[in-house]
Structure 1
Amino acid sequence: MGEVFKEDIKSIVKAEFIPWEKLENRTILITGATGLIGSEIVNILAYMNAIRNLNISIVLVVRDKRKAKEKFKEIRKKDILKYIEGSMENFPEIPGNVDYIIHGASQTQSIEFVNHPIETIDIAIKGTSALLNLAREKKVKSFIYLSSMEVYGYPEKGHKVAENEIGAFTPLNLRNSYPISKIMCETMCCAFEKEYGVPAKIVRLTQTFGAGVKYNDARIFAYFGRCIKEKKNIVLKTKGETERSYLYTTDAVTAILTILLKGMPGMAYNAADEKTYCSIAEMAEMVAEEENINVIYEIQDSASNGYADTLYMNLDTSRLKDLGWKSIMNLNITGMFKRMVDEMLN
């Protein structure tokens, strides 16, 4: 854990809109805990537990207990963490009480949606079904499912996308194994809320990055980060016409916790930093100009690389802001990249 990541964790004290007192003496179960967002959730909860004496317990469902323990070795009060080994496809038994569930486990690499669509679907559907049944059994106070902006499909350019708009997808395109399974998981959340009273909520995250991104991550922001670090030109395999907002990881965590503790059951919430809206090409050019490198275009077939078609994803975050959420990091695109790369250097 580098200094930038530690600074991000400590910045959580600025999130005065989160009702931390609701977590006192509670047990929180987290899936996807070793991922980019999940690991920051764990570290932030551990930090707030230490400075506020919340007396929380955190249950982590992980594929590899040894690797997970290594991931969180710098958390001082280790007795708040309980590791249970298992997968989303074969979900383990969870003993004891659970008050809150944060379900973040998911396939995240675009190429895997194409190469391993069955695994992508199984992780989503089987995992979410198991966790919603667990939430029902344990009578949890709140459950949040980490969904994606991809459920909106391909909105029109210039259109602000609200939560009541869902896209249409052809099931014959294997890459759609990801957004279609996300939509099904959202439907399951609403069904469990309606039929069984499970207080399930949904956050639809835009593309999220920040300190903690792995150097070899296959996603575009990590590639840009490597180009910055290695002083290499950015080579784009598409025209970079896709437009979207982005979200710094710490702000994603505050959005998730806000919805978990203040959101309405059966509701979905967009999470993005609207001021960061730009195209991939614009983002590349901004980063290149800041770092004195160039952007080179070598156009290839998008589908074979797992890239989504060109989309315009301008998310409306009014519903989230109505809960009191706001960006505590207040970074522009180049500021987000600077923090990500500075942490990569560590």
Structure 2
Amino acid sequence: MSIKDKNIIESPLDSTLQEDLENTALNDKVPFDKLKDSIILVTGATGLVGMQMVKSLAAMNRLKDANISIMALVRNPEKAKSIYGDLADRGDITFVQADLNDKDGIMSSVKSSLDSIRESENKGDAPLYIIHGAAVTASKMMVEMPVETIDTAINGTKNMLEVAREFGTASFVYISSMEVYGSFTEATYVTEDKMGYIDPLVVRSNYQLTKRMCENMCIAYAKEFDVPAKIARLSQTFGAGILPGENRVFAQFARSVMNGQDIVLHTKGLSEGNYCYTADTIRGLLTILVKGENSNAYNISNEDTHTTIAGMAKFASETLAGGKIKVVFDIPEDNKFGYAADTKMKLSNTKLKALGWEPCYGLEDAYRRMMASMKQLNI
């Protein structure tokens, strides 16, 4: 692999994110020895987690001479160029253009890129790792375009499992969500073997139900075709480097604090939130990729950041904004905003910590780092 210019850093316009990427690359608990000289395919590479995964791997190449060939699967190459800038030309990232719903297109594009890397970089025996993170994440789209949301989840995951089956993989991680657990009527400490209720007659449930189906599809491919699949159940993930247009609750609260505007809640905010800083999540995914057991699921969550939505709004208004803004409730009669049903759960991270992972950033640090990044990027 040739890095044309090692002076091209991963996020030149965002010093906070750059610090995160370099800290991840140099973290002594990241299973670097298994990743060195490998090929890693990341889907959803223009999303928050996928982008930071790609850039973290690139930082490993620059700082630790990891010689990782990074394959970033994207649907929109123009969006990818806007996110990666000059990094796209550094030499260690190959952008694979494909639509997750198009099996033939994915297989052809991946094969072409994989063959080129193995030949040009002399990596005929290099292990291939796959991190599948592409998915619809906007609640509004889940409500307004539920069929497309389902198709992207089911078809995309099946097609990526077929890639793993066809080309072989040392490890496959499917990025799932805490929403897979559904709702609990009583406060519940949720380990990976517990499941709550999901109402299939609610259109917004398509996201939760397809996550369950995709997880089971991973288990099916592991059982029938020996695909070494693992599942990462992410809590609400945020931090430095959030993308323009991000409108999930953490970004809304941050903008309210930065702009000195009251926080407006469209629910009572009783749902309990489980959060994790993005850099901690990236390290968790790499830990699962290398150390996780096949056909197992792992929560990636920082238990110390657990709070209700209303509690986090209060924290933002009082701690982050110094009491200069307040929390206002404006609750519509119907769920026109597409919010998930209230749930009362605290995600356990015991299983992942047993693999050697530890979260580094609490809720205040996570917010302040994210807001510093947002200010620098003017988003």
Q: Are residues 1:284 and 2:284 paired? A: no
Distance across 1 between alignment mates of 2:31 and 2:334: 44
Q: Are residues 1:139 and 2:168 paired? A: yes
SS at 1:143 equivalent: strand
> For 1:71-103, what per-residue CA distance to the aligned partner results, in whole angstroms no more than 9, with x for missing partners?
112538721111121111124221226700000
Shift of 1:204: 0.4
State the percentage of identical aligned residues: 40
Q: Which residue of 1 aligns with 2:74?
A: 62
Q: Are residues 1:317 and 2:349 paired? A: yes
User: 2:183 touches 2:198 (CA, 8 Å); kept in 1?
Assistant: no
User: 1:155 touches 1:161 (CA, 8 Å); kept in 2?
Assistant: no
Q: Are residues 1:295 and 2:307 paired? A: no
Shift of 1:49: 1.2
Larger displacement relative to structure 2 (7-16 or 194-203): 7-16
Number of positions where the alignment pairs a residue of Structure 1 with one of Structure 2: 344
Shift of 1:14: 5.6
Q: Which residue of 2 aligns with 1:304?
A: 336
Shift of 1:67: 2.2
Q: Are residues 1:330 and 2:361 paired? A: yes
Q: Which residue of 1 aligns with 2:34?
A: 22
SS at 1:146 equivalent: strand
User: 2:21 touches 2:52 (CA, 8 Å); kept in 1?
Assistant: yes
Q: Which amino acid aligns with 1:210?
A: G
SS at 2:268 equivalent: coil
Unaligned runs of 5+ in 1: none
SS at 2:57 equivalent: helix
Q: Which residue of 1 aligns with 2:124?
A: none
Unaligned runs of 5+ in 2: 1-12, 116-126
User: 1:216 touches 1:222 (CA, 8 Å); kept in 2?
Assistant: no
SS at 2:85 equivalent: coil
TM-score, L = length of structure 2: 0.87
User: Could you say if the C-alpha distance between residues 302 and 103 of structure 1 is closer, same or farther in structure 2, counting changes exceeding 3 Å?
Assistant: farther
Q: 1:216 aligns with which of 238, 245, 267?
A: 245
Shift of 1:123: 0.7
Distance across 2 between alignment mates of 1:74 and 1:315: 38
SS at 1:145 equivalent: strand
Q: Which residue of 1 aligns with 2:120?
A: none
Q: Which residue of 2 aligns with 1:204?
A: 233
Distance across 2 between alignment mates of 1:145 and 1:302: 33
Q: Which residue of 1 aligns with 2:274?
A: 245
Q: 1:78 aligns with which of 90, 103, 122?
A: 90
Shift of 1:13: 4.5
Q: Which amino acid aligns with 1:34?
A: T
Shift of 1:302: 5.3
Distance across 1 between alignment mates of 2:101 and 2:157: 10
SS at 2:87 equivalent: coil
Q: Which residue of 2 aligns with 1:35?
A: 47
TM-score, L = length of structure 1: 0.96
Shift of 1:19: 1.5
SS at 2:21 equivalent: helix
SS at 1:48 equivalent: helix
Q: Which residue of 1 aligns with 2:119?
A: none
Q: Which amino acid aligns with 2:180?
A: V
SS at 1:204 equivalent: strand
Q: Are residues 1:186 and 2:215 paired? A: yes
Q: Which residue of 2 aligns with 1:11?
A: 23
